């Protein structure tokens, strides 16, 4: 029996990235799609709790059952698991392919990875895929064989419990990808800058920009290092945010 693969993303159901992802995984298993009806980049792990969620069937993908959802990427996974596929076992959740990297600290803000993490919370093997290219018409041809390899390995092997894989690809270039590296998340952050502006009515608003700061540019075991050296980075992430190393110190506070 072919595995059941749930596909979602955060760039919206009409994005090129999700089409490429579906093109690859439909050759491996039976595909079911629930994805946002509009871009949800930077949504993080938000869920809809104070308004309605609208869902509509979409025939954009030939011979594949697909639904567009007004909710967040995490909502999409919840709806699939507890409504559309409640009588079936989902063998794998794949999210992406995101237009833009989700390496380092960006994993916290990413709607793509939050969908994958939601799958992990539900006990489903889950993978988020992202590409270092933000363009709408980004080139994805060089990542297809790597997605196929990773998905097939994920289905054939024991998947780590309570874990989602954060997979990032270098942008297309004339240099072939060297291979896959299992990495850790780079210790970095976004240094934000806010550009104060005024709309035509004179009302103030802000436009956020900034740059990524890598605190460990020489570390060779990180996702940023792997990507800078033309490797696919694979980082296992989990949703237990307990800082275990800090517990001993806090106990000295004698709270």
* Domain edges within the chain: 4-186+219-251
Q: What pLDDT, on a 0 to 100 scale, did the predictor assign at position 193?
A: 92
Q: Where are the alpha helices (DSSP H) in 160-253?
A: 223-228, 244-251
Q: Does domain 4-186+219-251 have CATH number 3.40.309.10?
A: no
User: Hey, is 211 helix, strand or coil?
Assistant: strand
Q: Which segments of the chain have a pLDDT < 50?
A: none
145 CB-near residues (< 8 Å, 6+ apart): none
In this predicted model, what pLDDT tens digit does every residue of 52-84 receive, in sequence order?
A: 999 999 999 999 999 999 999 999 999 999 999
Q: What pLDDT, on a 0 to 100 scale, did the predictor assign at position 42?
A: 87
228 labeled binding residue: no
Q: What pLDDT, on a 0 to 100 scale, did the predictor assign at position 20?
A: 98
DSSP E strand boundaries for the chain: 4-8, 30-36, 55-57, 65-69, 92-99, 126-131, 163-169, 180-182, 188-198, 204-214, 232-238
Q: Is 155 exposed, middle or buried (0-12, 13-18, 19+ CB in 10 A)?
A: middle
Q: What pLDDT, on a 0 to 100 scale, did the predictor assign at position 230?
A: 97
10 labeled binding residue: yes
Query: What's this model's pTM, rounded to 2 decimal places?
Result: 0.95
Place of tokens 């800078």: 228
249 labeled binding residue: no
41 labeled binding residue: yes
Strand 65-69 versus strand 55-57 pairing type: antiparallel
């Amino acid at each position: 029996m072919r595995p059941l693969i749930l596909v979602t993303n955060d760039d919206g159901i009409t994005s090129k990235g999700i089409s490429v992802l579906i093109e690859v995984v439909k050759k491996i298993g039976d595909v079911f799609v629930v994805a946002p009806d509009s871009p949800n980049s930077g949504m993080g792990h938000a869920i809809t709790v104070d308004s309605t969620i609208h869902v509509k069937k979409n025939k954009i993908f030939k011979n594949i059952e697909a639904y567009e959802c007004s909710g967040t990427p995490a909502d999409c996974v919840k709806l699939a698991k507890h409504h559309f596929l409640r009588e079936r076992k989902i063998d794998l959740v794949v999210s992406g392919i995101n237009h833009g990297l989700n390496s380092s600290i960006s994993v916290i803000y990413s709607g793509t990875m939050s969908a994958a993490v939601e799958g992990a919370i539900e006990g489903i093997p889950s993978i988020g895929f992202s590409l270092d290219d933000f363009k709408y018409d980004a080139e994805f041809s060089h990542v297809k064989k790597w997605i196929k390899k990773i998905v097939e390995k994920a289905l054939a092997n024991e998947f780590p419990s309570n874990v989602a894989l954060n997979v990032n690809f270098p942008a297309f270039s004339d240099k072939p990808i060297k291979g896959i590296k299992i990495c850790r998340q780079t210790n970095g952050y976004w240094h934000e800058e806010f550009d104060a502006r005024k709309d035509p009515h004179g009302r103030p608003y802000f436009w956020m920009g900034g740059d990524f700061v890598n605190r460990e540019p020489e570390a060779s075991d990180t996702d940023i290092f792997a990507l800078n050296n033309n490797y696919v980075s694979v980082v296992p992430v989990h949703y237990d945010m307990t800082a275990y190393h800090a517990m001993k110190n806090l106990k000295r506070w004698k709270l």
